[in-house]
Structure 1
Amino acid sequence: MLKVIDLPQQNRNYAKLLDPSEQLRPEPIYAGKLQSEFRKFDEDLEDSIKERVRKTYELMHSNQTVEFVKSRMKDWLKFNKFKMTIKDALLKLNDLVDESDPDTNLPNIVHAFQTAESIREEHPDLDWFHLTGLIHDLGKVMAFYGEPQWAVVGDTFPVGCAWGDSIVYRATSFDNNPDGKDSRYNTKYGMYKPQCGISNLMMSWGHDEYLYRLLVHNKSKLPKEALAMIRYHSFYPWHAGGDYMHFCSSEDYKILKWVVKFNKFDLYTKSNAVPDIEKLWPYYEKLIDKYIPGVIEW
């Protein structure tokens, strides 16, 4: 006899976002890899990429504290670092390899076009969605202006409350983070209230929050769904792990659907197949001019 488990309401809401029929199908293959072969964070001292990823997260989890995030927000959210078009910022990603990513060792601009083109193929009429795929990692330009990669790339998580169980390397990587010993921040709710809303959490500092704030500051014409995808696409402990649901408001479940929709294009398009970027530029330049035109403040 099957045992029926009554899940808390927030977990029932999260479960509705998942397609149970997926469990009965053969494991999907993306870019020549099984779905389970993506985002593998197992440790191997002899593997240089896995060691690079582990060290990046160890630094991140040791140093991303409430005070650190406040200091980065104070510094970056003045938007007085430089002025540049979206295209010029994208071109800088030619010189960036994400040190937290176990799935690709290619420059980040390749991933940008892989993501955008896969969205364009499946949703040809949603041009704002195509552009969102192209620019979603653009906040990583911080790495060229003094920020270490552990404060730019990788999965994000809220600071100021207990760390979620599904965070990668969770077991030991937070051992040196002082917030874990601070009674203001180390409980389930920490400095927040139940159902306060995901947008009211202070996230670890990185490219997601920075680009979201930058687009709002520069009055981009992208819809709220695009801004939500950009702001939370690296928040894997929430949209993939099911953690932090106790902070969700009813509006957050609508946002979560879009973030989950975006994730498959972000994650499962990483491969060694490089799009013809020069050929694609004219199309995406038109979208940039439509939604985020001209020189903007960074």
Structure 2
Amino acid sequence: MSDFTNNFWSVYVAAITVIGIVACLLLLWFSGKAKAMTAHDNTTGHVWDGDLREMNNPLPRWWVWLFVITIVFALVYLALYPGLGTFAGKLGWTQAGQYQTEVDKGNEAVAPLYAKFAAMKPEDIAKDPQAHAIGERLFMNNCSQCHGSDAHGSKGFPNLTDSDWLHGGTPEKIMETITLGRVGQMPPMAAAVGTPDDVKNVANYVLSLSGSPHDSVRAALGKSKFSACAACHGSDGKGNQALGAPNLSDDIWLHGYGESAIIAMVNNGKMNQMPAQAEKLTAAQIQVLASYVWGLSNGAGPK
């Protein structure tokens, strides 16, 4: 990727742009100077289909001026706006800057709408019909792509309507998650657990914690090997929200259910990421959105 970040490509694009404009100027100039050999009837002597002759008439003036105006426009544009490699243009315009200006303008327009929720508790915001409608739209636009339009999630994406929370389900924790994002990582643990047979035994012990179907003999053998997992998930397998370590005893499986899924997790590890929304949403929007999500898992929507 280093080839796409050095100065060569900036110079290359600028050179192609300038050469193209200069080539158009030269073509226009030479075409005006060139004299074609013509017969007494002002034809070039080229004949097609027996009687179709090419006349030696100059381009209409308006057409020529269109070429000239186009070239002048290109030069003025490149002086004012970015287009010549890293040259920013005299106006200092950027696509990101225009986007941010429009976002700020939109946020300023809706700020009074959110002002009424600023002093409200998250529990009260979740019950407010207007806040609920706003939160639902924010969720559909920013969260439903991963968690689903019904917030029930899917494999690898948490269900937001139950009481199972990796990092905590209080309004404050949900707001923190939305604002800063989360990175969840389980390293491959096969080497720490032992042999492939040990991994299989641990998988059955993990299944036994939630009362899921399992091989009881293997589960008994895997209990001692679970100590390699207890540092994060706890000796009882109930997880650790401070680390984002899942509760293994509640029969909720984020990345797949069953012996083979757990073995794959132990062998390969897993990394999940929720992107931070602080640069995308305002603090007021995050407050309403977090209250809406909290309401989904606590049945606290408007009556």
TM-score, reference length from structure 1: 0.25
Kindly name which structure, 1 or 2, has the bigger radius of gyration based on alpha carbons: 2
Higher relative contact order (CA 8 A, sep 6+): 1
